[in-house]
Amino acid sequence: MYTDFTFSIIKPNAVRTGKTGPILAMINEAGFEIAAMRMVRLTKPQAESFYAIHNGKPFFEGLIEFMTSGPVVVMILRHENAVEQFRKLIGSTDPAKAEPGTIRKLYAVSVQMNAVHGSDSVENAAIEAGFFFSRIERFL
């Protein structure tokens, strides 16, 4: 089983404001290899199933509206210990708590519009990558 990859999304706020390039540069500079990448506009059902774990929470409806508000960039990223290393690079969910130098510290504008997604486990990385890329083993 391949474990040294994670799945990421550059969220609509960051794409809309021209942060795709700077964020990709940070990802590369941190040593991640972009193994697969696509720009897509999520449909409501896609966003709802991607974030199904948060269904019922007070921020769910707003999150779905935000994630479908414009194009996003979806990626499979390779790195040793990728899930954990990428979560370190993006920083805390709440940008006010994100560490200096992290992607969210630099580019998040709120808890909701926090610029990037990163998988929280190896299992979820495979599930989430599978939402957007078929036969992900081709990229690993």
Among 14, 64, 117, 139, the one annotated catalytic: 117
From CA 68, how far away is CA 29, in angstroms rounded? 29
* Number of shown-chain residues binding ligand IDP (CB under 6 A): 9
From CA 117, how far away is CA 130, in angstroms rounded? 15
Determine whether 117 is an active site residue.
yes
**Residue bearing tokens 């474990």:** 3
43 belongs to the binding site for ligand IDP (CB under 6 A): no
**Cβ pair 113, 13 in contact under 8 A:** yes
- Applying the rule CB under 5 A, the residues between 85 and 124 that interact with Mg ion are 120
- Smallest distance, ligand IDP to C-beta of residue 33, A: 22
| 79 token code pair | 């790195």
| 109 token code pair | 């504008």
120 belongs to the binding site for ligand IDP (CB under 6 A): yes
85 belongs to the binding site for ligand IDP (CB under 6 A): no
114 belongs to the binding site for ligand IDP (CB under 6 A): yes
Instruction: Give the catalytic positions in this structure.
Output: 117
